[in-house]
Structure 1
Amino acid sequence: MLLFCLPYAGGSETTYYQWDHYLNQSINLCPVSLKGRGKRFNEPFYECLEDAIEDIFESIKDKLKENEYAIFGHSMGSLLAYELYYKIKKMGFHQPKHIFFSGYRSPEMKKKEIIYNLPNKQFKEKIIELGGIPEELVNNDDLFDVFIPVLKSDIKIVETYKYKEREDKISCGISVLNGLNDNITLENLMSWKKHTDKSFQLHHFEGNHFFINHNAENIVSLINQTLAAEKENENQKQMLFKSFF
């Protein structure tokens, strides 16, 4: 099974590299590279979330044809995962076995405060409030100035995203992960439940909005267990189906 991992705003595919140490051998880690950062640093930023979804889909579609897969996204990555699911479905590819939405409110719960268009000084202050920014970056204005454009671009596509209600729910189980010290309300987290007609699980971890940076082993253990359970349920269904014929 493949595990596609989508980064948070300002993050890159390198966020997930350490997960390879903990993943079950039957799961292949597939961190998704986005424009404007990492190995795609020289490519132009996305104009809107739809551009990002189109780019992500084009980069993974060949892997979808013959492989079972799951999707994990943190913060902005959760919103990308949500919209990517519907893009994959629209294009006629088979559905994921599970989706993990981490560190993000249900997509219809729009954030009230807009920060992407703030002057750099105020923008930096807002970002630092979230936590998770390395100290060496916070204390180095020149280095932070290099980081700001990609961060502002990512936050812009999230804050200008327009939610579209869909009649067809997500047809696989979903797990929602949250940091205990994050400021996302329980209502916002539980609202994810209405987006699937399959299983729903909510899991809390120690830490703030960037809890994934300090809980790699525990998060991957949850992923291993969840995907193993999905596989076992599928095998049982197949055995039950065969018993009727």
Structure 2
Amino acid sequence: MKKIKLFCIPYAGGSAAIYNKWKSHLSPSIELNAIELAGRGSRIQEGLYQNISEAVEDIFKFISKDIQQAPYAIFGHSMGAMLSYKLVQKIRDAGYVEPVHIFLSGRGAPGIKRDDKKKYHLMNEEEFKEAIMKLGGTPPEFFEHPELMQLFLPLLKNDFKLSESDDIHADLKPFDQNLTVFLGKDEDLTAEQCDSWKKHTNKLCNIHYFNGGHFFLHDEPKQITKIINHVLLDRIYE
């Protein structure tokens, strides 16, 4: 049976475990490789990333051997989408085998300036907690346990700092892969941020909208993986 690897990068504060529920929905021909970022899950003892380049280099080292041996695709949600975008740039610049497809979820296209965009990492602790609760994705009862907060908040705030440090003036260098973009209908994104993903590929860009806000990822595992299956199985047998 032909196989294709799918590397999945989590959102801010998320661990590799957020993709566990996908395993029962993905085709047997797709090998799920959820990437554990430093400072969480099995890597909880490791120091947090100081900048985007450090995070991208870490992910690149993690997958560099595998991407030379089998066809693969990359998926990232929110901060993970930004890291995926920069990771593929690094792979291309390093002359490695590039992914057959790129999935970008829960994030607007880079290069679009918004003066009204919230800067979560600049908020004080109380503002930050309130904003995170409104954003969703973190169970409300989590904030009732000081010991968990003490461990999780520094990680989460550092992730937001990385996510919000994206260079809006970055040069446009379109990919030579098809892009599939997943977005929530109620996300805090402008039409320009959504549609501008089409500028980042020399090929096709398909945008899918889901009911809900930023964490539609947790509500639509069957529909998301159905699209991934369709896209990647076409690539395996073409």
TM-score, structure 1 length as denominator?
0.90
Report the CA distance between 1:199 and its aligned residue.
1.0
2:28 equivalent to 1:3: no
Task: Give 1:152's match in structure 2, choosing from 147, 151, 157.
Answer: 157
Q: Over alpha carbons, which structure has the higher Rg?
A: 1
Question: For residue 64 of structure 2, what is the amino acid of its counterpart?
Answer: K
Report the CA distance between 1:167 and its aligned residue.
5.1
> Where do residues 119-158 of structure 1 align in structure 2 (5 Å cutoff)?
119-158=124-163
Q: Distance in 2 between matches of 1:177 and 1:170?
A: 18
Q: Distance in 2 between matches of 1:155 and 1:185?
A: 20
**Structure 1 residues 139 and 181: alpha-carbon distance in aligned structure 2, compared to 1, 3 A threshold:** farther
Report the CA distance between 1:137 and its aligned residue.
0.9
Task: Give 2:184's match in structure 1, choosing from 155, 179, 195.
Answer: 179
Question: For residue 178 of structure 2, what is the amino acid of its counterpart?
Answer: G
Question: For residue 204 of structure 1, what is the amino acid of its counterpart?
Answer: Y
Q: Which is worse superposed, 110-119 or 218-227?
A: 110-119
Q: Indicate the residue corresponding to 2:76 in structure 1.
A: 73
1:182-232 deviation per Cα after TM superposition (whole angstroms, max 9, x unaligned): 222222111000000111101011221001111111111110011123334
> Where do residues 1-245 of structure 1 align in structure 2 (5 Å cutoff)?
1-110=4-113, 112-163=117-168, 165-166=170-171, 168-232=173-237, 235=238
* Secondary structure of the structure 1 residue equivalent to 2:65: helix
Question: For residue 31 of structure 2, what is the amino acid of its counterpart?
Answer: N
* Secondary structure of the structure 1 residue equivalent to 2:166: coil
Report the CA distance between 1:100 and its aligned residue.
0.7
1:149-168 deviation per Cα after TM superposition (whole angstroms, max 9, x unaligned): 11011011111222453454
Count how many residue pairs are aligned between Structure 1 and Structure 2: 233
Specify every segment of 5 or more residues in structure 1 that has no aligned partner in the other structure, as ranges: 236-245
Question: For residue 197 of structure 1, what is the amino acid of its counterpart?
Answer: N
TM-score, structure 2 length as denominator?
0.93
